[in-house]
Amino acid sequence: MRVRIEGGEVTEVALDIYEPPRFFEAFLRGRDFAEAIDITSRICGICPVAYQMSAVTAMESLCGVEVGGQLRALRRLLYCGEWIESHALHVFMLHAPDFLGYAGAVEMAREHPAIVADALKLKKAGNEVMRVVGGREVHPINLRVGGLHRVPRKAELATLVEGLKRAREIALGAVTLTATLDFPDYEQDFELVALSAPGEYPIDRGRVVSDAGLDIAAADYMTHFVESHVPWSHALHSQRTNGSTYVVGPLARFATSYDELTALAREAAAGVGLRSPEHNPFRSIVVRCVELVHAVDEALALIAAYEEPDAPAIEVTPRAGVGHGVSEAPRGLLYHRYEIDAEGTILDAVIVPPTSQNQTAIEADLRGVIERSLELPDAELSIRCEQTIRNYDPCISCATHFLKLDIERV
């Protein structure tokens, strides 16, 4: 990352995402529409279900199919598992150690063994959901166009309940714990963009809405948002088509769908004085913990209401056209667009991950945070910058402890 400071003013912030390009959108061409699920999953080992769900939703909407009932409930349960696993990883292995001055969870465990042991139990509860419903924790194998390959028995899901109940207690404790952290005084007023669907917290589907009044179908996404390619990064930068900066992720969901959190999650937020909307990105760690409560709570409700469906999937016949799929990865809205022919062969693919949508806001936050912290020595400034990036839980390769800060003070 390069920063240029001239006479007390930050004149340049450039965050270079080094991740070598892998060309998913290119090699998806010529593939069968059913293959996009397992292929796009490999974009991210931390949130594979998000890629699978956005892909499968796009293909199903393209073919005029909507998966509902218990099949959808199972997919949502799988997605809750990913939220739990991913949020727990981010909160306790990366973000909380930042705030508390530890290099990582292992270092934190030396002084806070109980907290880290609990965090690992919470993470494991999410991973167990993914293993049972999805077949494995990383790159699950059970999603298919039209439903799932195999539906779990009630008895299989029952094995998850005890771990999830314990996880719910741990998540509630995490809200209280993270709320007491020392947050830098920093607020942003970027537009907050998330999915929204009546009667549910946004996870697997919805319209694209914002706190500034945006309310569009997924199919209109590309007329309202545009990706551009900057010279200093392999990650594309997204903006609203009018050029303004926006943010996706927990803060956005919390702002636009607060009322859809479970009562327990809302009580947990209220109990620590967290109000919607929250504009301090450093407080996203508390919002993530509230979402952990929600995800565990909802997973338990889905399991309690589960009845084995008659068939694991409905038949889907491909047809020529364009389809759009959106879902909420733990780190924010993930958009897929596919064009296929009548045989189901993919002709074109566009994937807009949450991290490229947040990239512009991350750089703006870095500029804002550095301007408020110019007196810090470079080493401390570097840590503060890492923390600022981590607020967004960016896809792991840029989330981790990578930052090499080049500061030029003129």
Contacts with other proteins by CB under 8 A lie at 19-27, 29, 31-32, 35, 38-39, 42-46, 48, 89, 93, 103-107, 109, 113, 116-117, 120-121, 123-124, 127, 135-139, 141-142, 144, 149-150, 228-231, 234, 236, 312, 386, 395-397, 400-402
Rank residues 230 and 314 by Cβ distance to other proteins and give the closer one. Answer: 230
Cβ at position 302, least distance to other proteins in Å: 19
Cβ at position 367, least distance to other proteins in Å: 22
Let me know the angle formed at the C-alpha of 232 by 226 and 233, rounded to the nearest 5 degrees: 60
How far is the C-alpha of 356 from the C-alpha of 109, rounded, in Å? 33
How far is the C-alpha of 199 from the C-alpha of 257, rounded, in Å? 9
Residue 246 is inside which H or E element, if any? Answer: strand 246-247
Cβ at position 387, least distance to other proteins in Å: 11
How far is the C-alpha of 155 from the C-alpha of 375, rounded, in Å? 59
Q: What is the DSSP string of 351-385?
A: EE-HHHHHHHHHHHHHHHHHHHTTTS-HHHHHHHH
Question: Half-sphere exposure (CA, 13 Å, Cβ side) for 148?
Answer: 27
Rank residues 17 and 303 by Cβ distance to other proteins and give the closer one. Answer: 17
For tokens 């990366």, name the residue: 94
Cβ at position 396, least distance to other proteins in Å: 5
Whether residue 194 contacts residue 209, with contact meaning beta carbons closer than 8 Å, is answered with yes
Residue 327 is inside which H or E element, if any? Answer: strand 321-329
Instruction: List Cβ neighbours of 207 (8 Å cut-off, separation of 6 or more).
Output: 195, 196, 197, 215, 216, 217, 218
Cβ at position 192, least distance to other proteins in Å: 27
Rank residues 207 and 234 by Cβ distance to other proteins and give the closer one. Answer: 234
Instruction: Retrieve residue 5's tokens.
Output: 């400071």
Cβ at position 14, least distance to other proteins in Å: 12
Rank residues 102 and 186 by Cβ distance to other proteins and give the closer one. Answer: 102
Rank residues 106 and 217 by Cβ distance to other proteins and give the closer one. Answer: 106
Rank residues 6 and 406 by Cβ distance to other proteins and give the closer one. Answer: 406
Rank residues 212 and 311 by Cβ distance to other proteins and give the closer one. Answer: 311
Cβ at position 51, least distance to other proteins in Å: 10
